[in-house]
């Protein structure tokens, strides 16, 4: 197999040797500050002794009790904790191994719910442009990410896409403060054109991650689309795989918006990258209906509710709660974002700095006034990422956010327990990498 550039723009991968706190080290001993938490995964850093101890203890007892035969203390305790952290709006949790699986399960549960009600025409999904929901065929079908879809076109579900909720790039002639109402009206018109009797769910990211470069929806958006969905008996599925589990400063990203979706997918920060773990959460009316008609969810896998993974997730969430890390993410995150904005304020190519908590996106543009993007061929975000990596900083470059082809963003998503000095190091090295990339070659 020929070598090729990684998704982070690194041409030749180096072998990782160990991790400690906010840093990882390669075989040669070089240290890298994990400024993006990998792909926004590592919530309590690397090598945390308490998490490792909890995993080891569980492995010494039993690695996994298969879900069709056993439940476990780790599974039960994590279920109770996550339901509590979510504020009591959900009834059931179905655990899985990745965000893609969690979204796929959300889609299947939506379809099963309408099947349980005898509404077999409600099969269609509506999603948003510039979204990313996962690598399984179903999750990929509802994702508007041209580069990742292209090889699989022809085998994907027929999904309808509505406009992105991007206040930095609203539709031509539309003021940002009118965006939420405009998008709600567009969604309603779309449902009516498809026939609400044919639509199962609307799927969205409360804060768009890789496909948009951290794009929070404008104020009022979530409540407006929830009202439209409720009006036409269409389920609201929130994909909080990347933005949830505390990443944006509240445990649920939609807590900020005062909205509880019908089904929600979480992953990444749930077990902090220690063992793959994701979950799909379901509100009572859906859970009760499916249980009454079918007796169980018709989704799940061999490793659903993996015992050691649940032990890891439980340890991570206990640390976050005990150490009040969400308060830190929320309060320090706002100052951190302002410090990034200030450090880059003199760089004409920085068009927007946005986000919530420790989930921050920087959009680079060729012209700040017109917001014209750099062409794909420039690969600017990957250039920034590669230069930062060489300087010992890991950030998350993303491309194609404007039209699926052009556009460059950088995501910063450090561990929740990163120190003030480490946050400052991120700013210094990020600023240096952006400046060097723009100066070229």
The residue among 397, 392, 358 whose CA lies nearest residue 24 is: 392
Hey, where are the domains in the chain? 16-47+324-439, 52-322
Pairwise CA distance, residues 379 & 399, whole Å = 8
What is the pTM assigned to this prediction? Answer: 0.96
- Rounded to an integer, what distance in angstroms lies between the CA atom of residue 346 and that of residue 370? 17
Owner of token pair 């920085």: 350
User: The tokens 């061999």 sit on which residue?
Assistant: 302
Tell me if 282 sits within 8 A of 263, measured CB to CB.
yes
Q: How many residues does the chain have?
A: 441
Per-residue pLDDT for the chain (441 aa), expressed as one digit of tens each?
334 566 777 778 899 999 999 999 999 999 999 999 999 999 999 999 999 999 999 999 999 999 889 999 999 999 999 999 999 999 999 999 999 999 999 999 999 999 999 999 999 999 999 999 999 999 999 999 988 999 999 999 999 999 999 999 999 899 888 999 999 999 999 999 999 999 999 999 999 999 999 999 999 999 999 999 999 999 999 999 999 999 999 999 999 999 999 999 999 999 999 999 999 999 999 999 999 999 999 999 999 999 999 999 999 999 999 999 999 999 999 999 999 999 999 999 999 999 999 999 999 999 999 999 999 999 999 999 999 999 999 999 999 999 889 999 999 999 999 999 999 999 999 999 999 999 987
The answer to whether the Cα torsion of 343, 347, 8, 167 is positive or negative is: positive
Q: How far apart are CA 377 and CA 132, in angstroms?
A: 22
The token pair at 53 is 């101890």
Cα(183)–Cα(272) distance, rounded to whole angstroms? Answer: 34
HSE on the CB side for 320, CA within 13 Å? Answer: 29
Beta bridge partners of 408: 364, 399
Q: Which pair of structure tokens corresponds to residue 126?
A: 């509506």
CB 93 within 8 A of CB 67: no
Place of tokens 């030749």: 12
- Determine contact, residues 175/237, Cβ cutoff 8 Å: no
Q: Where are the alpha helices (DSSP H) in 118-178?
A: 137-141, 146-149
CATH 3.90.1150.10 fits 16-47+324-439, yes or no: yes
Contact 131, 141 (CB under 8 A): no
Strand, helix or coil at 427?
helix
| The CATH number of domain 52-322 is 3.30.420.40 | no
In whole angstroms, what is the distance from residue 399 CA to residue 408 CA? 5
Instruction: Reduce the DSSP state of residue 260 to 3 states and report it.
Output: coil
């Amino acid at each position: 197999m020929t070598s090729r550039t990684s998704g982070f723009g690194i041409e030749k991968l180096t072998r990782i040797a160990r991790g400690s706190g906010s840093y990882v080290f390669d075989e040669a001993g070089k240290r890298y500050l994990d400024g993006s938490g990998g792909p926004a995964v590592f919530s309590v850093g690397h090598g945390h002794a308490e998490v490792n101890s909890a995993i080891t203890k569980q492995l010494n007892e039993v690695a996994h009790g298969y879900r069709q035969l056993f439940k476990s203390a780790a599974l039960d305790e994590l279920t109770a904790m996550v339901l509590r952290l979510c504020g009591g709006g959900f009834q059931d949790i179905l655990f899985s191994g990745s965000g893609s699986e969690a979204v796929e399960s959300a889609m299947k549960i939506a379809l099963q719910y309408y099947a349980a009600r005898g509404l077999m025409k409600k099969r269609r999904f509506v999603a948003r442009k510039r979204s990313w929901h996962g690598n399984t065929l179903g999750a990929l079908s509802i994702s508007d990410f041209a580069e990742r879809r292209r090889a699989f076109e022809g085998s994907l579900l027929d999904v309808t896409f509505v406009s992105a909720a991007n206040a930095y790039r609203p539709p031509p002639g539309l003021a940002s403060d009118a965006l939420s109402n405009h998008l709600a009206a567009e969604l309603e018109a779309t449902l009516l054109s498809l026939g609400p009797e044919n639509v199962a769910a609307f799927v969205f990211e409360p804060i768009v991650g890789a496909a948009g470069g951290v794009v929070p929806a404008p104020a009022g958006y979530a409540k407006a689309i929830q009202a439209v969905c409720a009006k036409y008996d269409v389920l609201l599925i929130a994909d909080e795989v990347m933005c949830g589990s505390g990443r944006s400063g509240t445990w649920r990203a939609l807590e900020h918006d005062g909205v509880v979706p019908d089904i929600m997918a979480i992953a990444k920060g749930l077990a902090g990258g220690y063992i793959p773990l994701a979950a799909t959460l379901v509100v009572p009316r859906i859970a009760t209906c499916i249980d009454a008609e079918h007796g169980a969810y018709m989704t799940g896998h061999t490793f659903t509710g993996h015992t050691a993974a649940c032990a890891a997730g439980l340890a991570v969430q206990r640390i976050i709660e005990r150490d009040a890390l969400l308060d830190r993410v929320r309060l320090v995150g706002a100052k951190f974002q302002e410090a990034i904005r200030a450090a880059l304020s003199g760089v004409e190519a920085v068009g927007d700095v946005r986000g919530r908590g420790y989930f921050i996106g920087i959009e680079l543009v060729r012209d700040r006034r017109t917001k014209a993007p750099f062409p794909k061929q420039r690969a600017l975000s990957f250039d920034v990422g590669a230069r930062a990596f060489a300087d010992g900083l890991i950030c998350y470059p993303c491309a194609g956010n404007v039209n699926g082809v052009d556009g460059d963003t950088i995501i910063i998503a450090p561990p929740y327990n990163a120190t003030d000095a480490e946050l400052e190091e991120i700013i210094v090295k990020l600023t240096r990498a952006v400046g060097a990339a723009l100066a070229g070659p």
